[in-house]
Amino acid sequence: MNRSSRPRTVTAIATALTAGMLVVGCSSSSGGKKAEEGGDTAAAGKANTPRMKIAMITHAASGDTFWDLVRKGAKVAAAKDNVELVYSSDPNAGNQANLIQNAVDQKVDGIAITMAKPSAMKDAVAKARKAGIPVVGLNSGLDSWKEQGLLSYFGQDESVAGEAFGERLNKLGAKHNICVIHEQGNVSLEARCAGVKKTFEGTTENLYVNGTDMPSVKSTIAAKLKQNSKIDYVVTLGAPFALTAVQSAADTGGKAKVATFDLNKDLVQAVEEGDVQLAVDQQPYLQGYLAIDGLWLYKTNGNFSGGGEEPVLTGPAFVDKSNIGAIAKFATKGTR
């Protein structure tokens, strides 16, 4: 998306997002490298269109529950649309590109991908397009989907989300935060922290951690908090990391509070209990659902979500104690 077209009045955005949380809503996986057919827990398909095969290929790392929600949404859409869903993931960009090539070789009917590291996906996407396979993007790669010729994009604008987050921290009276990036080089995560830094009136420091090693994440955050007692907020970019940051803050006995991007069932409880001050919901279930449904609509009726020109935004929306009850029941079911 053209940066110049992005709304700049972040305060107004933040207010609207909170109010609109129920209208709209990086990150985790149980998938690993192995690809497998999805939809096993979803309802029987209802579409009478010919059976088709769609591959969903993400950059999910093992153990990140965010991606379980993406996958659930994809399974439900696949069951409804009479689609065989083949899901695979790898946090290594080169390996993810190889998975795209594997899908091309299997002559699937459509491919849904994340582009946390867009340049690594470029050649594989071009091969899919050359083979006549439609490709849509979800979750990450907002600034690259049109350039690489994807049909549609489903996700949130991470820069806008970060800017709105920074404004919210200002309202909370925060003075000094660390923004914890759990995957170096991931464009979506970098955009979030850059957005926070842009609008936050205090001090923002980026802290890089190894997101695949949670004990290391915990110790690295704790060490930073011990090193600088002025840090009053830890900003994390995924629910599992927020819950770990809560432990780090408790271990140091300091004043630092935790706020985060993204939700899962345990994070909802943490917000209810006040351990996490707020979260930004980008609706991963909806991202997975729309990506598969969008490909089905294109194949069966020639539709382009967003007209092929604009992304379909699934967030962000702020969640805190004031409105967490409205989505808690859905989180309990494992769909928010």
Q: Degrees (nearest 5) of the Cα angle 165, 171, 172?
A: 90
Q: Quote the CA–CA distance of 179 and 198 in Å, as a whole number.
A: 13
pLDDT at position 332: 83
**Inter-residue contact 225 to 245 (CB < 8 Å):** no
> Which of 336, 329, 313 has its CA nearest to residue 138?
313
Residue 142 has pLDDT above 50, yes or no: yes
Instruction: Determine the residue type at 12.
Output: A
pLDDT at position 167: 97
Residue 219 has pLDDT above 60, yes or no: yes
Q: Which two tokens stand for residue 311?
A: 């992304």
Choose the weakest-confidence range: 4-13, 133-142, 327-336.
4-13
What burial letters (b/e) apply to 138-170, b meaning 16+ CB within 10 Å?
bbbbbbbbbebebbbbbbbbbbbbbbbbbbbbb
Give the three-class secondary structure for 252. Answer: helix
**Inter-residue contact 128 to 151 (CB < 8 Å):** no
276 pLDDT band, cuts 50/70/90, is very high
Q: Which residues contact 8 (CB under 8 A, 6 or more apart)?
A: none
Q: Which two tokens stand for residue 112?
A: 């849904």
> Mean of the pLDDT values across residues 230-234?
98
Residue 105 has pLDDT above 60, yes or no: yes
Q: Using a pLDDT cut of 90, give the percent of the chain over it.
A: 79
The separation between CA 276 and the C-alpha centre of its own chain, rounded to angstroms, equals 19
**48 strand-pairing partners:** none
pLDDT at position 254: 77
**Inter-residue contact 312 to 152 (CB < 8 Å):** yes
Q: How many helices (H) and strands (E) does the chain have?
A: 11, 13
What global pTM score does this model have?
Answer: 0.83
Residue 11 has pLDDT above 80, yes or no: no
Q: What is the pLDDT of residues 145-196, one digit of tens each?
A: 999 999 999 999 999 999 999 999 999 999 999 999 999 999 999 999 999 9
Q: Quote the CA–CA distance of 92 and 102 in Å, as a whole number.
A: 15
Q: Which two tokens stand for residue 192?
A: 């979030």
Residue 32 has pLDDT above 90, yes or no: no
> Which of 282, 279, 228, 235 has its CA nearest to residue 252?
228
**Inter-residue contact 158 to 316 (CB < 8 Å):** no
Q: Which residues contact 79 (CB under 8 A, 6 or more apart)?
A: 39, 42, 43, 44, 45, 46
* Residue 302, CA distances (Å) to 296, 307, 334, 335 in order: 9, 11, 32, 29
> Mean of the pLDDT values across residues 113-128?
97
Choose the weakest-confidence range: 22-26, 164-168, 205-209, 308-312.
22-26
Residue pointed to by tokens 């949670």 = 214
Q: Quote the CA–CA distance of 232 and 236 in Å, as a whole number.
A: 13
**Inter-residue contact 211 to 241 (CB < 8 Å):** yes
Residue 283 has pLDDT above 50, yes or no: yes
Residue 215 has pLDDT above 60, yes or no: yes
DSSP letter for 160, please: H
**Inter-residue contact 148 to 100 (CB < 8 Å):** no
Q: What is the pLDDT of residues 34-87, one digit of tens each?
A: 444 443 444 445 889 999 999 999 999 887 889 999 999 999 999 999 999 999
- Chain-wide mean pLDDT for the chain? 88
Give the three-class secondary structure for 312. Answer: strand
pLDDT at position 331: 85
**308 strand-pairing partners:** none
pLDDT at position 333: 86
pLDDT at position 12: 39
CB atoms within 10 A of CB 41: 9
Q: Which residue would you say has higher pLDDT here, 125 or 61?
A: 125
pLDDT at position 196: 98
> Which of 159, 131, 129 has its CA nearest to residue 146?
129
